């Protein structure tokens, strides 16, 4: 068979396939089969080396003519198929504007996060810096530097999740305070929010994982009056301007003197109601002046510097502020509950 006859055969065969093609993928396959590196026309061009030199220009011209005709037909068919596919797609995806719209659900902050951001806003407004630390902590920072010796009940394995003898899941964010004091960059005025862990059974007021916000101030001349004024301002800003505070003596190993703080019930104004169990007061946090031994162990001279610390249970103030009576509701992911916030 002559080259001219072969080219005509290739052309007629490919044109027939193009006419029968019904989607773009088939057209692309046809294009590759005839014009690709291993295509039929390419093979004809490769065979030109066996022709006499005087015949090669003529054969080359015939090949280019067939190539141009096929490329034009392929482009025309591709455009035709694409137009039909677009029309079919438009028909299939027609939007009926008379149908009611689909409402998209949007997320929002968790009640814990709302309470945390409100709380942070109060202390940032008083010049505090927000700092964070690791949840997996060394015994040294979680206990030893906070004046909790090896035989202290708080170190019992019934209360603390130990990973090794020296590493544990932190039981309080006070460990961040120890890290900050150890750096020795004075004065210090920070709050440290974060998740803590204790071996508690899950019930309405307890969980093995919960959140705390610890506060620490260390400077020259800090007194109990500074602590009381700070917490009084916090209570008024967070719970309402009419809120009163009451300090009760208590004991914490890392503060001396220590106290627990009650606020007047913001539901009844201190008259006594179901919310405050008739007492007119609600306990919200523990606090005290930083123990001189804690300052000394962290490299701060207690003869020159003094400070105060406090610890707020985030879930506790969230439960109080939003009048939630069961802590488990915060973590059950019930949309009906969370939508209220």
DSSP string, 264-307: E-TTTTTS--TTTTTSSEEEEEEEEEEPHHHHHHTT--TTT-EE
Closest by CA to 289, choosing from 262, 252, 315, is 252
- Band the pLDDT of 158: cuts 50, 70, 90: low
Average pLDDT for 82-111:
82
| Residue 189 backbone zone (phi > 0: left; psi -120 to 50: alpha; other: beta) | beta
The string of pLDDT tens digits covering residues 188-217 is 999 999 999 988 888 877 888 999 999 999
Q: Sign of the CA dihedral 154, 159, 165, 166? A: negative
Structure tokens at 317: 């103030």
Residue 238 has pLDDT above 80, yes or no: yes
- Band the pLDDT of 182: cuts 50, 70, 90: very high
Closest by CA to 139, choosing from 152, 120, 126, is 152
Name, in order, each residue with C-beta under 8 angstroms of 191's C-beta and a sequence gap of 6 or more: 120, 123, 128, 129, 130, 131, 213, 214, 215, 216
CB-based contact 190:286 (threshold 8 Å): no
Report d(CA 323, CA 325) in Å as an integer: 6
At the fourth CATH level, the homologous superfamily of domain 111-338 is Bira Bifunctional Protein; Domain 2 (3.30.930.10)
pLDDT given for residue 103 in this prediction: 82
Most confident of 65-74, 102-111, 193-202: 193-202
DSSP of 156-207, one letter per residue? STTTS-BSSSSEEE-S-THHHHHHHHHHT-SSEEEEEEEEEE-----SSS--
Q: Sign of the CA dihedral 226, 229, 234, 235? A: positive
Question: N- to C-terminal Cα distance for the chain?
Answer: 84
Q: Sign of the CA dihedral 123, 125, 128, 133? A: positive
Q: Which pTM value belongs to this model?
A: 0.66
DSSP of 53-88, one letter per residue? TTTHHHHHHHHHHHHHHHHHHHHHHHHHHHHHHHHH
pLDDT given for residue 127 in this prediction: 94
Report d(CA 131, CA 176) in Å as an integer: 8
Q: Sign of the CA dihedral 43, 48, 51, 56? A: positive
31-35, 52-56, 108-112, 249-253: lowest mean pLDDT where?
Answer: 52-56
Residue 181 has pLDDT above 90, yes or no: yes
11-15, 96-100, 233-237: lowest mean pLDDT where?
Answer: 11-15
Report d(CA 123, CA 215) in Å as an integer: 9
Average pLDDT for 293-302:
94
Residue 302 has pLDDT above 80, yes or no: yes
CB-based contact 246:271 (threshold 8 Å): no
Residue 115 has pLDDT above 60, yes or no: yes
- Band the pLDDT of 291: cuts 50, 70, 90: very high
pLDDT given for residue 21 in this prediction: 79
């Amino acid at each position: 068979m002559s080259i001219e006859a072969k080219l005509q055969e290739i052309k007629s065969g490919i044109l027939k396939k193009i006419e029968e093609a019904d989607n773009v993928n088939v057209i692309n396959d046809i294009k590759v089969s005839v014009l690709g590196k291993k295509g039929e026309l390419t093979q004809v061009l490769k065979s030109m080396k066996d022709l006499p030199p005087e015949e090669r220009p003529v054969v080359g011209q015939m090949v280019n003519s067939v190539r141009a005709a096929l490329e034009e037909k392929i482009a025309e068919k591709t455009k035709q198929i694409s137009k039909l596919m677009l029309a079919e797609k438009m028909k299939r995806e027609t939007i009926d504007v008379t149908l009611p719209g689909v409402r998209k659900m949007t997320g929002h902050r968790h009640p814990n996060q709302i309470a945390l951001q409100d709380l942070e806003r109060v202390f940032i407004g008083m010049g505090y810096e927000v700092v964070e630390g690791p949840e997996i902590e060394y015994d040294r920072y979680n206990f030893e530097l906070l004046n909790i010796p090896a035989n202290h009940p708080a170190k019992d394995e019934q209360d603390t999740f130990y990973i090794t003898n020296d590493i544990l899941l932190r039981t309080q964010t006070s460990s961040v305070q120890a890290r900050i004091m150890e750096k020795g960059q004075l004065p210090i005025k920070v709050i440290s929010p974060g998740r803590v862990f204790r071996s508690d059974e899950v019930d309405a007021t307890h969980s093995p994982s919960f959140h705390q916000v610890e506060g620490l101030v260390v400077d020259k001349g800090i007194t109990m009056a500074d602590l009381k004024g700070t917490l009084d301002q916090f209570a008024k800003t967070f719970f309402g301007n009419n809120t009163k505070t009451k300090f009760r003596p208590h004991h914490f190993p890392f503060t001396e003197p220590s106290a627990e703080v009650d606020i007047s019930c913001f539901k009844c104004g201190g008259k006594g109601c179901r919310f405050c169990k008739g007492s007119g007061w609600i306990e919200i946090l523990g606090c005290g002046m930083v123990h001189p031994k804690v300052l000394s162990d962290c490299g701060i001279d207690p003869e020159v510097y003094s400070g105060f610390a406090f610890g707020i249970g985030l879930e506790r103030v969230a439960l109080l502020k939003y009048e939630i009576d069961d802590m488990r509701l915060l973590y059950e992911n019930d949309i009906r509950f969370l939508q209220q916030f």
